[in-house]
Amino acid sequence: MAPSHAVRCCQRGLSWIPVIFINLVVCWSYYAYVVELCICKCLVIYLIVFHVFFFMFIWSYWKTIISKPASPSKEFCLPKADKELYEKEEFPEAQQEILKRVARNLPVYTRTGSGAIRYCDRCQLIKPDRCHHCSTCDRCVLKMDHHCPWVNNCVGFSNYKFFVLFLAYSMLYCVYIAATVLQYFIKFWTNHLPDTHAKFHVLFLFFVAGMFFISILSLFSYHLWLVGKNRTTIEAFRAPVFRNGPDKNGFTLGFRKNVTQVFGDQKKCWCLPLYSSLGDGYTFPTRLVNADSEQGNVEHQVIKCTVDGQTNPRPLSESQNHLLGNNMHSEEQKDSSLANIEVCQPVSITMENES
C-alpha cells in the first residue's frame, strides 16, 4: 500500500506542472507588458484594456481549475441487496437483468454499444446519460467532455462554461498583446528600438502571444462547434447510443437552445465565469420525443446535484421545460412540427435510450 500511495502522491504533484508552467508564462507576460513596455512608455490606455482582458482570463482560468467535477449521486448506486446479487452472479446476462431492474427507476436512457446498461465497475454505479469515468481523476464525471492537463481538472457539466470562457479570454489576451506589441516588434527588426534589455521582452512577447493565439484559436473554434451541436468531445468521436441505435445528434435541440443549455437563459451572465448552465447534469432533453417503453416512471424522482456550492442550481423540470418550450421563436419558426410536439408535451418529453 505504501508504494502505491507514494506513486499516487507523485502523480498528483506532477499533474500540477502544466498549471505551474501556464502561470509562470502569464506572470512573465504581465511583467514584460506592464513594466517593460507600458510603464516605460507611459501607455495608460494600453494598461487599462490589458488589465480587463487579464482579469477575465485569470478569473475564468481559475474557475475552471477549482470547480470540482460533478459526480453521480448515491441514487445511481446499486442497493445493497442488488449489489450483493450482482457481485455473486458470474454470467453477464444475469448481471444485466439486475442492472435493468434498478435502472427502470432511474432517468437513464442511453446504453453501451451492445445495448447494455452503462455500469461503472470502478465507482460501482449506473452511469447517468453523458456520464463517463475519468481514469485520471478516478471518478465518474457528469457530462464529461475531457480531462484537461492544462487546468489539472476534468471538464464537464460543472465547469464546461468556465472552460469555454477560459479559451475565449486567453485568446483575446494573446491577440491583444500581439496586436499592441506589433509596432515595437517591427521597430526591433528595423533597428529603430533602443538597445535595452526591454527589446528582448518585446521580441518574445510577440512570438509567445502569437503562438498561443494560433493554438488556442483552433481549440476554441472546435468547442464552439461542439456547443452549437450540443455534443461533448467524447460524443463527437463516439456517438451516444440509444435503444434504437447510435445517434450523434440525439441531444441537439437547435443552435440557440444548445447554446442556452451551456451558458444559461440570462444573456448578461454569458460572458462572466459564473455558473448559469441549465439542467441538473443527470438528464438532458433531446430532439426526439419517443417514450422508452422499458423505463419506469421517474418523472417525480428527486436527484440532488451540487455545482459551485449550490444544490440543484437549476432543476431539470425548469430547464427542460424552458428548453423545450415555445419561448425561442427562431427555432420554432424553422421547425414548426417539432415545436408543436414540444409545446404539447413539455414535461413528458423524455430522452431516447442511451448506449
Alpha carbon distance 245, 7 (integer Å): 41
3-state SS of the chain is CHHHHHHHHHHHHHCCHHHHHHHHHHHHHHHHHHHHHHHHHCCHHHHHHHHHHHHHHHHHHHHHHHCCCCCCCHHHECCHHHHHHHHHCCCHHHHHHHHHHHHCCCCCCEECCCCCCCEECCCCEECCCCCEEECCCCEEECCCCEEECCCCEEECCCCHHHHHHHHHHHHHHHHHHHHHHHHHHHHHHCCCCCCCCHHHHHHHHHHHHHHHHHHHHHHHHHHHHHHHHCCCHHHHHCCCEECCEECCCCCCCCHHHHHHHHHCCCHHHCCCCCCCCCCCCCCCCCCCCCCCCCCCCCCCCCCCCEECCEECCCCHHHHHHHHHCCCCHHHHHHCHHHHHHHHHCCCCCCCCCEC
Distances in Å between the alpha carbon of 237 and those of 60, 180, 227, 232?
Answer: 27, 39, 15, 9
Using the structure block, give the residue that is written with the C-alpha cell 509562470. Answer: 24
Decide if 148 is catalytic: yes
* Rounded Cα distance, 15 and 149, in Å: 7
Q: In angstroms, rounded to a whole number, what is the distance separating the alpha carbons of residues 69 and 306?
A: 10
Q: Which of 131, 134, 140, 148 is catalytic?
A: 148
**Annotated catalytic sites, by residue?**
148
